Amino acid sequence: MPNFTALREDFPTLAREVRPGVPLTYLDSTATAQKPRAVLEAMDAFYRRHNANIHRGIHTLAEEATAAYEGAREKIAAFINAPEAAQVIFTRNTTESINLVAYTWARANLKAGDLIVLTEMEHHSNLVPWQMLAAERGVELAFIPVTAEGLLDMAAYARLLEREPKLVAFTHMSNVLGTINPAGEMIAAARAAGAITLLDAAQSVPHLPVDVQALEVDFLAFSAHKMLGPTGIGALYGRRDLLEAMPPFLGGGDMIKRVDLDGFRANDLPHKFEAGTPAIAEAVGFGAAVDYLRAVGMEAILAHEQELTAYALERLAAVPGVRIIGPRAEKRGGVIAFVLEGVHPHDVAQILDGEGVAVRAGHHCAQPLHLCFNLPATTRASFYLYNTRDDVERLVKALAKVKEIFG
Ligand code: PLP
């Protein structure tokens, strides 16, 4: 088992104080993760030594930059066990990856009356692009309900599949409930019903082993910044035949093979979907983040976070007035959303910040899900590999302070 307490040393941010004498307790990794020195140094080294634009140059720096960028793609492809690196497209983030599918595959393949199945627990980024498509094309959206425990209603899902949806798009792990959905089983059922599948893996790829070939998923979207990498870069994995058949997304440099005044011929994968100068240093940082996660081990990271979450659930449940939403520990990853009776989540978060505890308050870009629980907002604590039981104790102690202030 890796030493999760010792690896905190790799993350400079974790050593800072929020204000003099108040150390940081970072419990907001679901929003974005802290970065290890290895990522910061890889990006710094790129800019210091190798900075050049990629693909187009034949000078040494351009070749080095291209190798670094394409090398990062290979690392990321291996991390999710993609059959080939060309099936991994760099985007800005999960949101852009999902929009890419909505604007290309979906607009080329779906027509009025076609059904898309989503769930009630989606982040807005896997909801709004489909609502936009529905408004434009008359495509119908249907939702797998969330049970009171915070799980997907599988019987309702089976009934929706009988209506032969064209696409089933859902989150692998909820960013509010922490629920880890049975993706393999759900994808197999969708495929048997003839649907294409898209997995929002923004919260799963950073926290648990994800194997696109074992899952047999058609599209998978995730963001570097939630998995120790920089902001500004994410990835879309896609099945080769689907990607090949899809029209390009954005037009411009690099995504073409040939252009004349009458038109253009699109480039091969993955470049067909990467118009313009991409986030090169960020790709290098993304690759370094994946190296770091691999070295620690995704099985070990998941086990650590689930053990910590089980402990936190127990400690928080013992705080009078706390109501936690979401399933029991075995069904979830390191996310805990809760409300404290009589105190608005924003007030909770503000007082916790005074104690150095960084949590998030609001609807966490999942407003429909909050409505399911009749809550306008929650406070959310989330864990990553660098969190320990000490962080949980600081959270519990800070909640006592909230109760003290609000009586
Ligand atoms: N999907 C889920 C489940 C998320 O948690 C998030 C971010 O919180 C996103 C999508 C969107 O990620 P990004 O903002 O990096 O595009």
397-406 average pLDDT score: 95
On average, the pLDDT of the chain sits at 97
- Cβ of residue 175 lying under 6 Å from some atom of ligand 1: yes
**Ligand 1 contact via 171 beta carbon (within 6 Å):** yes
Ligand 1 in reach of 95 Cβ (< 6 A): yes
The answer, yes or no, to whether any atom of ligand 1 lies below 6 A from the CB of 215, is no
* Tens-digit pLDDT profile for residues 172-184: 999 999 999 999 9
Using DSSP's 3-state secondary structure scheme, residue 171 falls into strand
Q: Does residue 160 carry a pLDDT above 80?
A: yes
What is the structure's pLDDT at 371? 92
Domain end marker among 295, 310, 337: 295
Total domains in the chain come to 2
Taking the centre of ligand 1 as the mean of its atom positions, its distance from the CA of residue 203, in whole angstroms, is 7
234-238 and 88-91 strand pairing: antiparallel
Q: How much of the chain, in percent, has pLDDT values that exceed 70?
A: 100
Say if residue 63 is in the same domain as residue 95. Answer: yes
In DSSP terms, 119 is beta-bridged to: 144
Note whether residue 35 is domain-resident. Answer: no
Task: Encode burial over 124-144: b for 16+ CB neighbours within 10 A, e otherwise.
Answer: bbbbbbbeebbeeeebbbebb
Q: What is the three-class DSSP state of 157?
A: helix
**Helix, strand, coil percent values for the chain (each to nearest 5):** 45, 20, 35
pLDDT digits (tens, 9 = 90+) for 303-329: 999 999 999 999 999 999 999 999 999
Burial class of 314 by CB neighbour count within 10 A (0 to 12, 13 to 18, 19+): exposed
Domain with 55 in it: what CATH number? Answer: 3.40.640.10
Q: Which residues of 169-195 are buried (b: 16+ CB within 10 A; e: fewer)?
A: bbbbbbbbbbbbbbbeebbebbeebeb
The pTM for the full model equals: 0.98
Residue 278, both tokens: 């991409």
Closest approach atom of ligand 1 to CA 125 = 10
Distance CA 327, CA 196 (A): 28
pLDDT of the residue at 57: 77
DSSP letters spanning 342-391: TB-HHHHHHHHHHTTEE-EEE-TT-HHHHHHTT-S-EEEEE--TT--HHH
- Residue-wise pLDDT tens digits, 73-127: 999 999 999 999 999 999 999 999 999 999 999 999 999 999 999 999 999 999 9
Q: Are 199 and 187 in contact (CB under 8 A)?
A: yes
Whether residue 270 is preceded by a cis peptide bond, meaning omega within 30 degrees of 0, is: yes
Q: Which atom of ligand 1 is nearest to the CA of 225?
A: 15
Burial class (CB in 10 A: 0-12, 13-18, 19+), 18: middle
Take atom 5 of ligand 1 and give the residue whose Cα is closest: 175
B/e letters for 88-97, b = 16+ CB within 10 Å, e = fewer, are bbbbbbbbbb
Verify that 188 and 69 share a domain, yes or no.
yes
Q: What is the pLDDT of residue 162?
A: 98
- 258-291: per-residue pLDDT in tens? 999 999 999 999 999 999 999 999 999 999 999 9
pLDDT of residue 1: 87
> 201: domain range?
40-295
Mean pLDDT of 296-300: 98
From 123, 363, 367, the mutation candidate for ligand 1 (largest count of ligand atoms within 8 A of CB) is: 123
- Is residue 161, in this structure, part of any structural domain at all? yes
Helix or strand or coil: residue 263?
strand
Whether residue 329 sits in one domain with residue 235: no
Q: In this structure, which residue's CA is closest to atom 4 in ligand 1? A: 202
Same domain for 172 and 309, yes or no, is: no
Tell me the two tokens of residue 97.
Answer: 């990856």
Residue 305's domain is classified under what CATH number?
3.90.1150.10
Give residue-wise pLDDT tens across range 12-28: 999 999 999 999 999 99
Report residue 148's pLDDT band, with 50, 70 and 90 as the boundaries.
very high
| Residue 407 scores a pLDDT above 80 | no
Do 184 and 323 sit in the same domain of this protein?
A: no
* 81 close to 215: Cβ distance less than 8 angstroms: no
Q: Which of 121, 135, 145 is nearest to 367 (CA)?
A: 121
Separation of alpha carbons 40 and 10, rounded Å: 11
Judge if the beta carbon of residue 272 lies within 6 A of ligand 1.
no
pLDDT at res. 199: 99
Residue whose token pair is 């909801």: 127
CA of 17 to the centre of ligand 1 (A): 27
**Position 341 confidence tier, pLDDT thresholds 50, 70, 90:** very high
56 band by pLDDT with thresholds 50, 70 and 90: confident
* Count of CA atoms in the C-beta half-sphere (13 A) of 358: 21
Same domain, 145 and 186: yes
Would you place residue 202 in the very low, low, confident or very high pLDDT band (cuts 50, 70, 90)? very high
